Amino acid sequence: MSHTPVLELSDISKSYSDRQVLSGLSYSLAAGEYVAIMGDSGVGKSTLLNLIAGLDSPDSGEIKIDSKILPVEDEAATILRRKYLGFIFQAFHVLPHLTLLQNVSLPLLLNHLSLDRAPAMLAAVGLQGREQDFPHQLSGGELQRVAIARALVHRPRLILADEPTGNLDQDTSREILQLIRSEIKANQASAIIVTHSRLAAETADRILVLDRHGLTPISLENRK
């Protein structure tokens, strides 16, 4: 296995107008590592994931994915991100005019991969038989599961998940977390999962807390 970090954050700062959200944040994520990030509402967790996903740029500092700095507005960088990343957003971003099967097939199509895995992935999140449904026919939790299937279907190297179980009941949460973890481990992928849920965080290899000082690991003794 390669020792090159999958993700390297060096001295990242980000403000919105006069509000400093992230300041001098550094972190390195190893290949195959699955971490959970917890922290108070508004502390900058989604902001951090958005920066890693290239949806926004830091004011200063450097983000390297697979040892490369990826400019936000750059076609080659977009293609690499599309292949390399699987992103489960806090708001689902499921495309309303596409069926569930088409939504989940999209990352495969865009990456020129076989579409075979799409129906299997929908079945894995418990939506077998709903392939031809449209997003408006689904509950919030079902939509969340479509978003999860879509984020995992192309076996990304780095999975970024923002409250992936925020809309799910406890049993479904448990199943989905198990699925996310087994996908990560089967594909030797890395993942960052942002969550307020202890149950979700404890499926990760490590738990980090984000506050104004940066990312701090919670030691195992403090884990309940």
Ligand X SMILES: Nc1ncnc2c1ncn2[C@@H]1O[C@H](COP(=O)(O)OP(=O)(O)OP(=O)(O)O)[C@@H](O)[C@H]1O
Which does residue 41 touch among Mg ion, ligand X, none (CB within 5 to 8 A, set by kind)?
ligand X
Based on CB atoms, which residue is closest to ligand X, 103 or 195?
A: 195
Task: Provide, rounded to whole angstroms, the least separation between the CB of residue 190 and ligand X.
Answer: 20
Task: Provide, rounded to whole angstroms, the least separation between the CB of residue 90 and ligand X.
Answer: 6
Proportion of the chain in helix, strand, coil states, percent, rounded to 5:
35, 25, 40
Residue whose C-alpha is closest to residue 172's, from 148, 207, 204: 148
Based on CB atoms, which residue is closest to ligand X, 105 or 197?
A: 197
Task: Provide, rounded to whole angstroms, the least separation between the CB of residue 18 and ligand X.
Answer: 10
Task: Provide, rounded to whole angstroms, the least separation between the CB of residue 39 and ligand X.
Answer: 6
Based on CB atoms, which residue is closest to Mg ion, 34 or 89?
A: 89
Phi, psi of 163 (to 5 degrees): 50, 60
Is the CB of residue 126 less than 8 Å from the CB of residue 120?
no
Q: Is the dihedral of CA 142, 144, 149, 150 positive or negative?
A: positive
Task: Provide, rounded to whole angstroms, the least separation between the CB of residue 221 and ligand X.
Answer: 25
Based on CB atoms, which residue is closest to ligand X, 47 or 105?
A: 47
DSSP classification of residue 219: P
Of 24-32, 38-46, 179-187, 215-223, the segment contacting Mg ion by CB under 5 A is 38-46
Residue 47, SS3 per DSSP: helix
Binding site for ligand X (CB under 6 A): 16, 19, 21, 39, 41-47
Q: Hey, which bits of 93-200 come out as E strands?
A: 158-162, 190-194
Distance CA 43, CA 195 (A): 12
Q: Which of 9, 27, 46, 105 binds Mg ion (CB under 5 A)?
A: 46
Task: Provide, rounded to whole angstroms, the least separation between the CB of residue 17 and ligand X.
Answer: 7
Based on CB atoms, which residue is closest to ligand X, 101 or 210?
A: 210
Residue 197 found at the interface with Mg ion (CB under 5 A) = no
Based on CB atoms, which residue is closest to Mg ion, 12 or 106?
A: 12
| 30 to 35, 62, 132, 156, 201: CA distances (angstroms) | 10, 17, 38, 15, 18
Residue the block writes with tokens 């890693």: 52
Cα R_g (the chain), whole angstroms: 17
The contact set with Mg ion (CB under 5 A) reads 46
